[in-house]
A and B are shown apart, each in its own frame.
Chain A
């Protein structure tokens, strides 16, 4: 499974890319593979404030619905509308066009709670 070195991760299988005072969030290659074909994405509402580990989106595969969590405290400033027409982007490009939302983060120090690639690899190895 692809676990890029330059991203941060949660144990609930979100990836996080830092972009200044914002973070872009999606689900990992491992997560999309476990979920199987994604058929629907419920995006978070714009300007919504979320606490770390709060469920703010839902990714539905043929088999099941899965919550997606805010990795850190922040405000939703961008959502990936392309997923409404083509939810399969999450399967095809989990780290690229399949991103789900962007959060403006309250406190950059919160990112220290997240896992690096090596720690996430240990999570998915179980």
Chain B
């Protein structure tokens, strides 16, 4: 076994300086929390929070044929993207298994930004590169670019405090280039928390300056720097899947309940035949959301799921929901047992605890 060197983002020193607890995550040293996962979670639900997402990969695909080719590599339809628009999509292998889930933005007519999962960046790059025609250019700009997510109901106020009252927030899933103290940043109206929010991408040399500017301008709005712990509880409450837990090369987007982001009317993309077959035959298992029926230990990945004593599946994500104050999770469950409202049991340390299959998302803003 070779020793893996953990990478650090351009904001690493800032996290340490502010007293964050650091953990290894997907090959990176990242803050899991600053003061409290629950406190950071509430800041995002009630006010606003900022997350370092510089570990995420940023790939640039360009050239006159870029759009046409990308549409054969990704499940969603990139033809629907105007300049400055983005969409959630999947990169699949031939058998329909998920290599990665990502957001693709058309940043120029013939130029696309792909924001991908940190741990998959190299694999995505290699896969794309292998299939790339000579007239399409592929660049991995991850080492030179960082990013933050600013999320929460007060994000619009903070955006205007940062960029000016007369500057418009981009529309949902849109991306715009803006200036801030001489730095060029790209602001996308996207996120992974279920709250209104933006994700901002910038050159690494501007990372610390931008991070601190947001925290300073965000103070009147109750901003908190947030770690991966809160990022995970926030996304799970709204049932956004986590790659490596809920999504994997053994699962396809139909099983994961994410067929909305697959355009099967496209004549050709990698994995299409496999997905058509899944659609036709039905998938043997489906990803469901569930909520524990009583207070008790929170569900965790790999706990087994039962119905009337019969084993029907396995948990892929689980936590105690800070907003609902109940254990929540997602699990792959065999298809006949996925009805909303069905009573199931989660086995925790040899004991079964009752849960109920719920509609996604588990948390909705009241």
Query: Chain B interface: which size bin?
Result: 10 to 19
Tell me the number of A-to-B contacts counted with CB atoms below 8 Å: 39
Contact A60 B32 (CB under 8 A): no
Which of A8-16, A17-25, A34-42, A110-118 binds B? A34-42
Contact A36 B37 (CB under 8 A): yes
Contact A39 B320 (CB under 8 A): yes
Is B319 close to A, CB under 8 A?
yes
Which label, helix, strand, loop or mixed, suits the secondary structure of the B interface? mixed
Smallest CB separation, A34 vs chain B (Å): 8
> CB-CB < 8 A to B21: which residues of A?
33-34, 36
Report the Cα distance A42→B349, complex, angstroms: 11
Contact with A along B292-327 (1 / 0, CB 8 A): 000011101000000000000000000110100000
Contact A40 B37 (CB under 8 A): no
Q: Assuming the A-B contacts A36-B21, A36-B37, A39-B298, are A63 and B32 also in contact, with contact meaning beta carbons closer than 8 angstroms in the complex? A: yes
Question: B227 — nearest CB in chain A belongs to which residue?
Answer: A36
Q: Assuming the A-B contacts A36-B21, A37-B37, A40-B320, are A65 and B296 also in contact, with contact meaning beta carbons closer than 8 angstroms in the complex? A: no
The residue that A40 contacts in the complex, of B32, B33, B298, B322, with Cβ under 8 A, is B298
Report the Cα distance A58→B348, complex, angstroms: 11
Is B38 close to A, CB under 8 A?
yes
Query: Chain A interface: which size bin?
Result: 10 to 19
> CB-CB < 8 A to A62: which residues of B?
37-38, 229, 233, 298, 319-320, 322
Report the Cα distance A37→B21, complex, angstroms: 13
Q: Assuming the A-B contacts A62-B233, A62-B322, A63-B229, are A40 and B296 also in contact, with contact meaning beta carbons closer than 8 angstroms in the complex? A: yes
Is B36 close to A, CB under 8 A?
yes
Contact A60 B298 (CB under 8 A): yes
Contact B300 A37 (CB under 8 A): no
Question: B322 — nearest CB in chain A belongs to which residue?
Answer: A62
> CB-CB < 8 A to A34: which residues of B?
21
> CB-CB < 8 A to B322: which residues of A?
62
Contact B32 A37 (CB under 8 A): no
> CB-CB < 8 A to A37: which residues of B?
36-38
> Could you list 6 A-B pairs, sorted by A, with CB under 8 Å?
A34-B21, A36-B37, A39-B298, A60-B320, A62-B38, A62-B320
Q: Which 3 A-B pairs have the closest CB atoms?
A: A39-B320, A62-B37, A37-B38
